[in-house]
Copies of this chain bind each other. A is one copy, B any other.
Amino acid sequence: MDYANYLKLSGLLSLQEMESTKKGKVAHDEMLFIIIHQTYELWFKQIHHELDLIQSIFGGASVDDAQLGRAVHAAERIVKIEQLLVGQIDILETMTPMDFLEFRDLLIPASGFQSEQFRLLEIRLGLTREARLPFNEQSYDANLLPDARKNVVAAEAKPSLRTQVNAWLERTPFVTRDGFHFGETFRKALDDMLSRDMAQIEKHPHLSQTEKDVQLASLRQSRAMFDGLLDDARYAELRAQGAWTFSRHALQAALFLFLYRDEPAAHAGFSMLKALMDIDETLAVWRLRHALMVSRMLGRKVGTGGSSGFEYLRATADKHRAYNDLFSIATFLIPRSALPPLPDNVRKAMRYRYED
């Protein structure tokens, strides 16, 4: 057992074969290009390793509270890894376009689009085939190698983390409990707040009528959106229109966790949702940075894999997001001070036994 042996360094450090060297005209920066992509793939493997843990915890019939803490920890680690991946772009951008061109043609038609681990990662997080943007009028897996294509299709058939989180949220034990119906209680609180807000806006001394109209319309829209959360038929309609992906009960539970996150029993659940939002957001930032880097390298040229490059990558930063619903929940949040207090029995149930 020594360091080099344990890390298999002789293998690892011999996997950088520069095409430019083979062709007899060394392109210095090809080494950077290889190594940065290899580190990306190693980190993708680590993210999958964390997803293995998280999915094994959320995949069961119930989630033990001690296990939930470990899942949160793993999810937060994924965020930190993603932040590193964003940071790596700073290094890649030290490669100027001309230095890239020195070896770029030798790579055709290889392309980052072929990264199987990245595709699997998107799938496991919850990005569905239907939600994906078309790419060069082809499905996203058209230019994967046969084995990789088989693997992504198989992965799509399994429950994603989003699906598992949806099921876990639906089981949340506090939303309806011993006569407490969170949806109804909250509907009243939200209504009161919106009415109060509307009254305030209408009599506001410094707002113009146009400004008032914008604010009032927004409040009315929030109310309508929330109504949609309380009614099965209306919700089904909204979901069909793409307004939501989580189920109605899961969304209510998520809203509950956001609102009552200070209660000990809600804390870890809230942290999990927050970590999922961070994962989603940081991935979106990475996608934008990646798109800008590509536009910097290639201008308006097409990519080695034949992609129209920048425009497509750019759009994925907006569209390829799995946890938009959690961001939209903020539409319904109200100040802590306006929060209806939990009934005593619910509040007590969310505390530790040692207090007895």
Q: How far is the CB of A260 from chain B (nearest CB, A)?
A: 9
A300 touches B109 (CB 8 A): no
Q: Which of A33-41, A160-168, A229-237 contacts B (4 or more CB under 8 A)?
A: A33-41
A334 touches B285 (CB 8 A): no
Report if A88 contacts B (CB, 8 A). yes
A148 cross-chain contacts in B, Cβ below 8 A: 4
B42 touches A39 (CB 8 A): yes
- Interface 1/0s, chain A 311-354, versus B by CB < 8 A? 00010011000000001111111111100000000001111111
A102 touches B267 (CB 8 A): no
Report if A28 contacts B (CB, 8 A). yes
A265 cross-chain contacts in B, Cβ below 8 A: 264, 352, 354
CA distance A62 to B32 in the complex (A): 27
Q: How far is the CB of A316 from chain B (nearest CB, A)?
A: 13
Report if A225 contacts B (CB, 8 A). yes
We find that the number of chain A residues with CB closer than 8 angstroms to chain B is 136
B215 touches A306 (CB 8 A): yes
Report if A25 contacts B (CB, 8 A). yes
A6 cross-chain contacts in B, Cβ below 8 A: 19, 34, 107, 110
Given A17-B8, A35-B45, A42-B38, residue A105 in contact with residue B200 (CB < 8 A):
yes
Q: How far is the CB of A309 from chain B (nearest CB, A)?
A: 9
CA distance A304 to B5 in the complex (A): 15
A331 cross-chain contacts in B, Cβ below 8 A: 298-301
- Interface 1/0s, chain A 1-28, versus B by CB < 8 A? 1111111110111011101000001011
A37 touches B7 (CB 8 A): yes
Say which residue of B65, B114, B285 sits within 8 Å of A352 (CB atoms): B65
Say which residue of B7, B284, B306, B334 sits within 8 Å of A41 (CB atoms): B7
Say which residue of B53, B77, B263 sits within 8 Å of A94 (CB atoms): B77
CA distance A105 to B84 in the complex (A): 29
Q: Which of A122-130, A179-187, A204-212 contacts B (4 or more CB under 8 A)?
A: A204-212
A297 cross-chain contacts in B, Cβ below 8 A: 330
Report if A159 contacts B (CB, 8 A). no
CA distance A44 to B355 in the complex (A): 37
A-B contact pairs, 21 of them (CB 8 A): A3-B112, A7-B15, A9-B41, A11-B15, A31-B45, A31-B49, A67-B262, A73-B94, A98-B333, A98-B336, A108-B207, A109-B206, A136-B214, A222-B300, A264-B352, A267-B267, A288-B317, A295-B327, A296-B330, A297-B330, A352-B352
With contacts A102-B335, A288-B317 known, what are 12 further pairs, Cβ within 8 A? Answer: A3-B114, A7-B15, A32-B77, A69-B262, A80-B90, A96-B258, A98-B335, A108-B207, A292-B327, A296-B330, A299-B332, A349-B356
